[in-house]
């Protein structure tokens, strides 16, 4: 895949790359230099690399909200 640099130093990301990185409008890209090569990766979704690192069982949202409200009420007093 080849991209041209415009007069404003902009490039178009090829469709295959956008799809593979799941890029969307307004996403951010992280650029790094490694051994004289530019490496580009999605910065907007970098938190996903931590997925499945914390093991948690199924929760009960209604109970969690109720517990959080009770804790907050105790702090306000």
Residue 11 lies in a domain: yes
Residue 49 · residue 42 · CB < 8 Å: no
Residue 67 lies in a domain: no
Residue 56 lies in a domain: no
CATH number at residue 27: 2.10.260.10
Question: What is the residue range of 42's domain?
Answer: 1-46
Residue 62 lies in a domain: no
Summarize pLDDT for 23-55 with one digit per residue, the tens.
888 888 989 999 999 998 888 655 666 677 777
Residue 59 lies in a domain: no
Q: Which two tokens stand for residue 56?
A: 């948690």
pTM of full prediction above 0.85: no
Residue 71 lies in a domain: no
Domain count, the chain: 1
């Amino acid at each position: 895949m080849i991209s041209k640099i415009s007069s404003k130093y902009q490039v178009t990301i090829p469709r295959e790359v956008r799809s593979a990185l799941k890029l969307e409008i307004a996403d951010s890209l992280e650029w790094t230099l490694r051994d004289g090569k530019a490496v580009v990766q999605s910065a907007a979704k970098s938190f996903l690399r931590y997925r499945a690192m914390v093991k948690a069982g199924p929760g009960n949202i209604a109970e969690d909200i109720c517990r959080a409200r009770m804790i907050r009420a105790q702090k306000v007093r």
